[in-house]
Amino acid sequence: MHIDLLAAEDAAKTLYIRALKILPPDIKEGLATLERAETMPGAREILRTMTTNIAVAEDNDNLLCQDTGIPIYTVSIGRGVAVDGQALKEAIRRGCARATREHPLRSSVVHPLTRRNEHTSCGAEVPVIHIDYDDAPDTWSLAMVPKGSGSENNSFLKMAVPAEGVEAIKRFVVDCVIAAGGKTCPPTIVGVGVGGTSDLCVALAKRAATRPLGSACADPDGAALEQALSAAVNHLGVGPQGLGGDATAFAVHIELAATHITMNPVAVNMQCHSARRARATFTPDGVRYGF
């Protein structure tokens, strides 16, 4: 199977717009679960407003949030799929720019020094494109996350040392959630990267933050730590929008990588309550859109 570059470009465009308008079902359910459990009336009211907004966005075919974010695309290529990788990256970039111009969307992307906005959501190294390979025989997928800045501006990395152990990780996660307060638009998905190099650790935190709710870390020790931290952060009282309450986070997600004998890195990256993502899966039968 070959990757059809025109179909890839169209999907890159469609996914950006779709992600901005329709929340995945796991996030909607997560919000409903938090609302049922919330004991503070003011916080419940905020969660209800978030739920109302989801319906208004769908009814009016509008964006959930004005922050169109930094576009991040993740490509996963099966074993039986042939691709010109460079051409695929160019196609994704064209699709991203088309979504921005043709919808139109606010371009939230600027040059880091001149702050110049090209109004295409593109720039040097942006959209962010990750390409990986998997076991699927005749399938490839394109996943898209528009990453908003309220949450992204509260990203943290700590190069802890081995002697600080798992305690350093727990303490750091709790303190990052406290430091972020309402700025990350809670309830959030708290993504935690543990191990690896500094750059891999941060990338793992992002991968964790954008995982579907209900999924678990593949490593059993990681999964147990996720459970413990998920319960703990919701006892802090930060609450929706940082105005107090139980619903501080949907969940804490952890992704692990092996690390150096003398290292113990931990990174935190959060996803706001509007935890937007979309996915297109291509098979020989055509394309299927989901989350």
Partner 1 sequence: MTHHTLHMPIDEAAVRQLKVNDTVTLEDTLYGIRDATQIHLFDRGRKTRMDLHGHAVIHTAPNVRKVPVSDRHPAGYEAICIGTTTSDRMERFTRPLMTEYGVRLVVGKGGLREGSLDAFRELGGAYLAIVGGTAALETTWIEQIEDVDMDDLNPESLWRFRIRHFGPLRVAMDSHGGSLYDSVRHDVDQQRDRVLAELGIGQGTGAATPTGARP
Minimum gap (Å) between residue 63 Cβ and partner 1: 4
Minimum gap (Å) between residue 280 Cβ and partner 1: 23
Residue among 25 and 162 whose Cβ is closer to partner 1: 162
Residue among 77 and 209 whose Cβ is closer to partner 1: 209
Minimum gap (Å) between residue 285 Cβ and partner 1: 34
Minimum gap (Å) between residue 140 Cβ and partner 1: 31
User: Which stretches of the chain bind partner 1, using CB under 8 A?
Assistant: 42, 46, 49-50, 52-53, 56-57, 60, 62-68, 103-108, 115, 117, 148-150, 153, 162-168, 170-171, 174-175, 178, 181-185, 228-229, 231-233, 235-244, 272-274
Residue among 81 and 213 whose Cβ is closer to partner 1: 213
Nearest to 198 by CA among 150, 135, 156, 237: 156
Residue among 69 and 127 whose Cβ is closer to partner 1: 69
Residue among 128 and 231 whose Cβ is closer to partner 1: 231
Minimum gap (Å) between residue 192 Cβ and partner 1: 13
